C-alpha cells in the first residue's frame, strides 16, 4: 500500500513556518500489513501516521509498504525505496529476522534506519552503526525486567520457556541475566507451535513457584488459554508481547492478573502520553498498543530532528536524532552510545476496565536500563 501523507492537509499548519529548514524528509516505512502478525505492523503504522498528522509538518512525507513478513520482499522494498523513491529515513520493520536482512545494507547505502520494534543483539553490539537508531528496546530488555521483577516478587524456582529460535534463546538468557532464583526447568518449544498441553503438564509436575514465558503472537494466545483451562495455578509472567492491547481481547479473561513488562503503558502519567492515548482513540476507535506507542515515538523523534537539522546534512541530522529531544510517551528517554534507548521498564498487570481488558502499571522492573551489548559497540 502506498500512502502519501501530506500532513499539512490534515493538521493545523500553525507550527509549520517555525521549521524553516526547508528540505522535506522522505520516510519509507516497510512493515507487516498482511498475513500472520500483521496486527503489529498496522499498529506501528497507525501510531506513526498519527504523530505525523498531529505535528502537521508538511515537510514529512511517508510512504508505507507491506513486507508480508518475508525477508527477501523486505529487502526488495528497501532497495526500491532507497534507489527509486530516494528516501532519507527507513523505518517500520517488526521482526528481527527482517531487520537483520534490511538494516545492514540500508545503513550501508547511507540512509537512516529507525527501528520501531525489532532490536536484535547484533545491531546493539558488534553490528551497531552510526545511522541505526532503535526507538523501542533491545530484544532482551523486557525479559531482563521480568527477571528483576521475579526477584522482587520473591520467586525462587521459575519454569521458563520460549520458542526454539534466536529471539527465544535471547529471551531466556535475558531473563536469567537478572533473575537470582533457581530455574525449575528450561524448555524450548517449536516455533509456531499451537498446542502446549505437554509443556503445561511438565510445568505442573515441575514443582515451580512461577512461570516465565516468551511466546509472541498466536503462540502466546494459545498458551495462555490452555494454561487457564488446565487448572494449573502457578503464577505466570512474561514480556508485554503476549499481553498487549491488540492481543488481550483474543486471550480473554485467561490473562487477568498476569504481570508483564513493558517500557510503555497507557496509564503512564505524562502529558504526551495522555494526548497520544486520547488522539489514538479518537482517530482509530480502539485503544493504542505498545507497538502504536513505538510508532508514535519514532515519528516524533524524526520530527524533533527535523526541527534542528537538515536531513541532507547527515552528520547534523544524526546528531539531532541522537539528542532525542522529543516528548516520548514513555516519559524519560535518551540514547546510549549504541543508539539504543536508556529507559525505565515497568511491570504491568492485566486488569479489566469495564468490559475491556487492559494493563495498569504496578511497579518498575528495571530503572534506566540500557542494553547488555553496549560494550561491544564501537560507536
| Residues 218-277 close enough to bind other proteins by CB under 8 A | 218-219, 221-222, 225-226, 229-231, 246-247, 249-254
Distance of CA 125 to the CA centre of its chain: 18
Q: Quick one: 235 or 249, whose CB is closer to other proteins?
A: 249
- In this chain, which of 58, 70, 157, 322 binds other proteins, going by CB under 8 A? 70
**C-beta of 204: minimal distance to other proteins in Å?**
8
166 part of the interface to other proteins, by CB under 8 A: yes
10 Å CB burial of residue 81 (0-12, 13-18, 19+) is buried
The whole-angstrom separation of Cα 146 and Cα 290 is: 17
What's the DSSP call for residue 16? G
281 part of the interface to other proteins, by CB under 8 A: no
164 part of the interface to other proteins, by CB under 8 A: yes
**C-beta of 166: minimal distance to other proteins in Å?**
4
136 part of the interface to other proteins, by CB under 8 A: no
SS3 210: strand
182-221 binders of other proteins (CB under 8 A): 186-192, 194-195, 197-199, 201-202, 204-205, 217-219, 221
18-37 binders of other proteins (CB under 8 A): 33-36
**C-beta of 307: minimal distance to other proteins in Å?**
31
Closest CA to 43 of 247, 334, 192, 238: 247
- N-terminal to C-terminal alpha carbon distance within the chain: 36
**C-beta of 360: minimal distance to other proteins in Å?**
20
Rg (CA), the chain: 20
Phi-psi region of 56 (alpha: psi -120 to 50; beta: other; left: phi over 0): left
Q: Quick one: 24 or 104, whose CB is closer to other proteins?
A: 104
356 part of the interface to other proteins, by CB under 8 A: no
Q: Quick one: 205 or 362, whose CB is closer to other proteins?
A: 205
6 part of the interface to other proteins, by CB under 8 A: no
**C-beta of 129: minimal distance to other proteins in Å?**
11
SS3 219: helix
Those residues whose C-beta lies under 8 Å from the C-beta of residue 21, and which sit 6 or more positions away, are 306, 307, 309, 310
83 part of the interface to other proteins, by CB under 8 A: yes
**C-beta of 348: minimal distance to other proteins in Å?**
19
Those residues whose C-beta lies under 8 Å from the C-beta of residue 250, and which sit 6 or more positions away, are 221
Interface region with other proteins, contact rule CB under 8 A, candidates 77-85, 140-148, 268-276, 322-330: 77-85
Which three cell numbers, joined as nine digits, stand for 351? 486488569
Contact predicate 66/1, CB 8 Å: yes
Those residues whose C-beta lies under 8 Å from the C-beta of residue 318, and which sit 6 or more positions away, are 112, 130, 131
283 part of the interface to other proteins, by CB under 8 A: no
Those residues whose C-beta lies under 8 Å from the C-beta of residue 371, and which sit 6 or more positions away, are 119, 121, 124, 138, 140, 141, 336, 338, 340
**C-beta of 203: minimal distance to other proteins in Å?**
11
- In this chain, which of 39, 148, 295, 365 binds other proteins, going by CB under 8 A? 39
334 part of the interface to other proteins, by CB under 8 A: no
- In this chain, which of 21, 58, 79, 310 binds other proteins, going by CB under 8 A? 79
Amino acid at each position: 500500500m502506498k500512502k502519501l501523507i501530506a500532513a499539512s492537509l490534515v493538521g493545523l499548519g500553525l507550527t509549520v513556518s517555525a521549521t524553516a529548514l526547508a528540505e522535506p524528509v522522505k520516510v519509507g516505512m516497510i512493515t507487516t500489513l498482511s498475513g500472520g502478525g500483521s496486527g503489529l505492523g498496522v499498529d506501528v503504522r497507525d501510531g506513526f501516521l498519527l504523530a505525523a498528522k498531529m505535528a502537521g509538518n508538511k515537510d514529512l512525507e511517508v510512504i508505507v509498504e507491506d513486507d508480508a513478513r518475508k525477508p527477501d520482499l523486505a529487502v526488495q522494498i528497501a532497495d526500491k525505496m532507497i534507489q527509486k523513491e530516494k528516501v532519507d529515513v527507513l523505518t517500520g520493520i517488526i521482526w528481527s529476522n527482517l531487520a537483520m536482512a534490511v538494516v545492514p545494507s540500508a545503513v550501508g547505502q547511507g540512509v537512516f534506519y529507525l527501528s520501531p520494534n525489532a532490536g536484535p543483539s547484533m545491531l546493539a553490539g558488534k553490528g551497531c552503526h552510526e545511522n541505526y537508531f532503535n526507538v523501542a528496546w533491545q530484544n532482551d530488555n523486557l525479559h531482563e525486567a521480568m527477571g528483576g521483577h521475579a526477584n522482587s516478587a520473591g520467586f525462587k524456582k521459575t519454569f521458563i520457556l520460549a520458542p526454539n529460535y534466536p529471539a527465544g534463546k535471547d529471551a531466556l538468557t535475558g531473563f536469567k541475566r537478572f533473575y537470582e532464583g533457581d530455574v525449575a526447568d528450561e524448555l524450548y518449544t517449536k516455533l509456531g507451535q499451537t498446542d502446549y498441553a505437554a509443556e503445561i503438564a511438565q510445568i505442573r509436575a515441575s514443582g515451580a513457584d512461577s512461570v516465565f514465558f516468551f511466546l509472541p503472537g498466536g503462540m502466546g494466545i494459545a498458551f495462555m488459554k490452555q494454561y487457564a483451562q488446565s487448572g494449573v495455578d502457578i503464577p505466570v509472567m512474561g514480556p508485554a508481547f503476549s499481553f498487549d492491547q491488540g492481543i488481550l481481547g483474543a486471550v480473554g479473561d485467561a490473562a487477568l492478573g498476569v504481570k508483564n513488562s513493558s517500557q510503555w503503558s497507557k496509564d503512564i502519567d505524562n502529558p504526551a502520553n495522555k494526548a497520544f492515548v486520547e488522539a489514538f482513540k479518537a482517530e482509530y476507535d480502539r485503544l493504542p498498543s505498545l507497538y502504536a506507542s513505538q510508532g508514535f515515538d519514532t515519528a516524533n523523534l524524526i520530527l524533533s530532528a527535523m526541527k534542528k537539522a537538515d536531513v541532507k546534512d547527515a552528520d547534523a541530522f544524526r546528531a539531532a536524532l541522537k539528542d532525542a529531544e522529543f516528548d516520548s510517551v514513555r516519559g524519560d528517554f535518551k540514547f546510549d552510545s549504541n543508539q539504543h534507548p536508556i529507559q525505565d521498564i515497568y511491570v504491568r498487570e492485566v486488569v479489566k476496565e469495564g468490559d475491556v481488558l487492559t494493563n495498569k502499571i504496578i511497579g518498575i522492573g528495571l530503572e534506566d536500563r540500557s542494553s547488555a551489548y553496549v560494550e561491544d559497540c564501537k560507536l
